[in-house]
Amino acid sequence: MKRLAVLGHPVGHSRSPAMHTAALAELGLSAEWSYEAIDLAPDEFDARARAMAGEGFAGANVTVPHKGAALSLADSLSETAREIGAANTLSFEAGEIRADNTDAQGLLDALPEPPGAGRALVLGAGGAARAVVWALVREGVEVDVWNRTELRSNHLCEELGGTPLMAPDQSAYGLIVNTTAVGLRGEDPFEELPLRPDGFAAEQTVVDLVYGDRPSGLLTAAAGAGATVIDGIEVLVRQGALSLRIWTGRDAPLEAMRVAARR
Ligand code: ATR
């Protein structure tokens, strides 16, 4: 059996096990591959991750708060992981640990069309924002970055590109991506973020990486204005599909993954 896992803390809420288990079944790989969730406290991460190859693991997804530790642990890094400064995918091969980042391409794959040369607003300056800004800057998008704590957005843009700003004009962007945690605990996004519920337009695409059982307040308002909306589950599916291809070499069954991740 080749084992796969998602490593996080907490990880009980993760939809990755259901999503990947469904994908493996759809590909006819259930007899050879399995996927589980492993909750690791930060001080356990290095030792457990290093032991995994010996326990039959072929790979792992890495989520909050271990994406930086995963990068430091690896013997080799993809260029994307190195530049973003975070890894969400580990592969255990021939005694080596390789780190990749599929969050960046996962975001691009989730968009209905390539972002092109337009303008984008990224909200947040944490780990998730880094992958998003890196991906969009590389696509040639003009990226503005707002964060509650200005110092962090300044720092992110110095490293990865983009322009930090504190008072964005919501109507100026073809693409708006929320990478902040706002909404996770039921906060009102329009209290915490520099956006107005009536400030969206039909030509815009709005992505909210936050996901829960119901559409986020942000996406509900954007959809009400006729904007194209993409939720965090679609981005999760797309990054997971890319990770699965790294491990198995197979194209992932997106629809089966979506259904399982939304169940
Ligand atoms: P992740 O790796 O998921 O991006 P993170 O590094 O903890 O997690 O970043 C969380 C992001 O959500 C940050 O941009 C944070 O803003 P600060 O840098 O000011 O902390 C943002 N965030 C969390 N709660 C927020 C709130 N109530 N209002 C605005 N931004 C918030």
> Which ranges of the chain have pLDDT less than 70?
none
Mutate to test the pocket of ligand 1, among 107, 130, 134, 148 (most ligand atoms within 8 A of CB): 148
Ligand 1 nearest atom to the CA of residue 65, by list position: 2
Say if ligand 1 is within 6 A of residue 189 CB.
Answer: no
Helix H, strand E, coil C: the string for the chain is CEEEEEEECCCCCCCHHHHHHHHHHHCCCCCCEEEEEEECCHHHHHHHHHHHHHHCEEEEEECCCCHHHHHHHCCEECHHHHHHCCCCEEEEECCEEEEECCHHHHHHHHCCCCCCCCEEEEECCCHHHHHHHHHHHHCCCEEEEECCCHHHHHHHHHHHCCEECCCCCHHHCCEEEECCCCCCCCCCHHHHCCCCCCCCCCCCEEEECCCCCCCCHHHHHHHHCCCEEEEHHHHHHHHHHHHHHHHHCCCCCHHHHHHHHHC
Say if ligand 1 is within 6 A of residue 109 CB.
Answer: no
Say if ligand 1 is within 6 A of residue 149 CB.
Answer: yes
Ligand 1 nearest atom to the CA of residue 192, by list position: 28
Q: Are strands 76-77 and 57-62 parallel, antiparallel or unpaired?
A: unpaired
Structure tokens at 248: 């198995």
Residue 167 pLDDT: 97
Q: Which residue has the tokens 């984008």?
A: 120
Distance 52 CA to ligand 1 centre (A): 31
Enzyme catalytic residues = 67
Residue 250 pLDDT: 98
Distance 127 CA to ligand 1 centre (A): 9
Say if ligand 1 is within 6 A of residue 8 CB.
Answer: no
Mutate to test the pocket of ligand 1, among 146, 157, 180 (most ligand atoms within 8 A of CB): 180
- Convert 157-169 to b/e letters by CB count within 10 Å (16 or more is b): beebbbebbeebe
Distance 199 CA to ligand 1 centre (A): 22
Distance 183 CA to ligand 1 centre (A): 11
- Output the CA torsion 102→251→15→122 (10° steps): 30
Distance 152 CA to ligand 1 centre (A): 10
C-beta separation of 206 from 222 below 8 A: yes
Say if ligand 1 is within 6 A of residue 155 CB.
Answer: no
Instruction: State the Cα–Cα distance between residues 263 and 259, nearest whole angstrom.
Output: 6
Residue 184 pLDDT: 80
Q: Which amino acid type is present at position 90?
A: L
Residue 183 pLDDT: 85
Task: Count Cα atoms within 13 angstroms, Cβ side, for 40.
Answer: 28
Q: How far is CA 239 from the centre of its chain?
A: 7
Question: What strands lie across the sheet with 2-8, from one edge to the other?
Answer: 33-39, 2-8, 57-62, 89-93, 96-100, 76-77
